[in-house]
Amino acid sequence: MPVAELLARTSSRELSEWLAYERVTGPLDIRLRTEISAGIIAATVANSNGAKRRAKPSDFLPTWFKRKKTVREMWQEVVRANTALGGSYKRAE
């Protein structure tokens, strides 16, 4: 879908929600999700070949799968992205 069509059909709020979801779960694009499978295979190969320490699939994952931010920090990024896209934020009372 072209960007112009995406912006015409999707609200700023929905885009912000998808951004937050992707930050928590990793890339939505299935082509990028194959890194998880590759990490599992790499860990299995390393462990079966007598690795000095037991390898985990996460040892082989790109940094976007490793959470380094708190939920509060991620939420602040979502609010900033929403604002940058022209959305507004109303705090629940």
Which tens digit of pLDDT belongs to each residue from 25-49?
Answer: 877 877 777 888 899 999 999 999 9
Look at the chain and report how many structural domains it folds into: 1
Q: What domain range includes position 55?
A: 3-84
d(CA 74, CA 69): 6
The secondary element (H helix, E strand) that includes residue 31 is helix 30-48
71, part of any domain: yes
Whole-number pLDDT of residue 37: 87
Whole-number pLDDT of residue 66: 60
93, part of any domain: no
Please work out, in degrees rounded to the nearest 5, the angle formed at the alpha carbon of residue 23 by the alpha carbons of 45 and 92. 150
Whole-number pLDDT of residue 55: 94
In the chain, which stretches have pLDDT less than 70?
A: 64-67, 92-93
90, part of any domain: no
34, part of any domain: yes
The secondary element (H helix, E strand) that includes residue 39 is helix 30-48
Whole-number pLDDT of residue 54: 94
Please work out, in degrees rounded to the nearest 5, the angle formed at the alpha carbon of residue 53 by the alpha carbons of 47 and 55. 50
